[in-house]
Amino acid sequence: MTPGADLARRGGRPSIAVALGSGGARGIAHVAVLETLDELGIRPTAIAGTSMGAVIGAAYAAGIEARAIRSHVLKVLRNRSNVMGKLLRARVGRFADLVLRGRGNPVLLDPEIFLELFWPAGVPNSFEELAIQTIVVATNYSLRNEAVFQSGSLTAAVAGSMAIPGLFRPVDCDGDLLIDGGAVNPLPYDHLFDLADIVIAVDVTFGGRSRRRRAPTPLESMFGAAQIMQGAITAQKVKRRPPDILIRPRVEQFGLLDFFRASHILRAAEASKDEMREAISSRLAATARA
Amino acid sequence: MGATAVSAHAANQWKARMNVLILGSGGREHALARACARSPAIGKLMVAPGNPGCAQVAETHPVDLGDHGQILALCRRHAIDLVVVGPEAPLVAGLADDLARQGVACFGPSAAAARLEGSKGFAKDFCREFGVPTADYRRFRSGVEAKAYLRERGAPIVVKADGLAAGKGVVVAETVEEAEKAVDALLPAGSTPGAEVVIEEVLEGEEVSFFALCDGSVAAPFASAQDHKRVGEGDTGPNTGGMGAYSPASIMTPEMTERVMREIVTPTVEGMARRGTPFRGVLFVGLMIGRDGPKVIEFNVRFGDPETEAILERLSDDLPPWLAACAAGTLPQGSPAFRPEAALTVVMAARGYPGEPMKGSRILGLDEAGRVPGVVVLHAGTRQAGEAIVADGGRVLAVTAIGRTVGEAQERAYRAIQRIEWPEGFCRKDIGWRAVARETELGS
Reported ipTM: the value is: 0.79
CB pairs under 8 A between A and B: 114
Q: Which of B2, B16, B327 sits opposite A96 (nearest CB)?
A: B2
Q: What is the pLDDT of residue B12?
A: 55
Give which of A84, A212, A219, A257 to mutate to test B binding, by max B Cβ within 10 Å. Answer: A84
Q: Look at strands B105-107 and B82-85 and give their pairing.
A: parallel
**pLDDT tens-digit map of B16-32:** 689 999 999 999 999 99
pTM score of the predicted model:
0.87
Q: Answer yes or no: is pLDDT of B218 > 70.
A: yes
**pLDDT tens-digit map of B221-277:** 999 999 999 999 988 888 899 999 999 999 999 999 999 999 999 999 999 999 999
Average pLDDT, chain B: 92
How far, in Å, CA of A113 to CA of A89, rounded?
Answer: 8
Instruction: Look up the CATH superfamily of A16-75+120-288.
Output: Cytosolic phospholipase A2 catalytic domain (3.40.1090.10)
How far, in Å, CA of B316 to CA of B264, rounded?
Answer: 26
At a CB cut-off of 8 Å and minimum separation 6, what does A212 contact? none
How far, in Å, CA of B330 to CA of B204, rounded?
Answer: 37
| Cβ atoms of residues B29 and B312 within 8 Å | no
- Residue of chain A minimizing CA distance to B3: A88
Burial of B115 (0-12, 13-18, 19+ CB in 10 A): buried
Contact yes or no for B8 and A81 at CB 8 A: no
Q: What is the pLDDT of residue A210?
A: 65
Phi, psi at B251, each rounded to 5°: -70, -20
Phi, psi at A6, each rounded to 5°: -60, -45
Share of chain B above pLDDT 70, in %: 94
Contact yes or no for A219 and B331 at CB 8 A: no
How far, in Å, CA of B158 to CA of B182, rounded?
Answer: 9
Q: Would you call the peptide bond into B248 cis, given omega within 30 degrees of 0 as the criterion?
A: yes
Average pLDDT, chain A: 88
Domains of chain B: 3-110 (3.40.50.20), 137-200 (3.30.1490.20)
**pLDDT tens-digit map of A245-282:** 999 999 988 888 888 899 999 999 998 899 889 999 99
User: Contacts of residue B325 in chain A, CB cutoff 8 Å?
Assistant: 84-86, 88-89
- Residue of chain B minimizing CA distance to A24: B14
Contact yes or no for A84 and B16 at CB 8 A: yes
Q: How far is CA B306 from the centre of its chain?
A: 7
Pairwise pLDDT comparison (A169 vs A185), residue with the higher score = A185
At a CB cut-off of 8 Å and minimum separation 6, what does B264 contact? B132, B133, B285, B287, B294, B296
Give which of A80, A94, A98, A103 to mutate to test B binding, by max B Cβ within 10 Å. Answer: A80
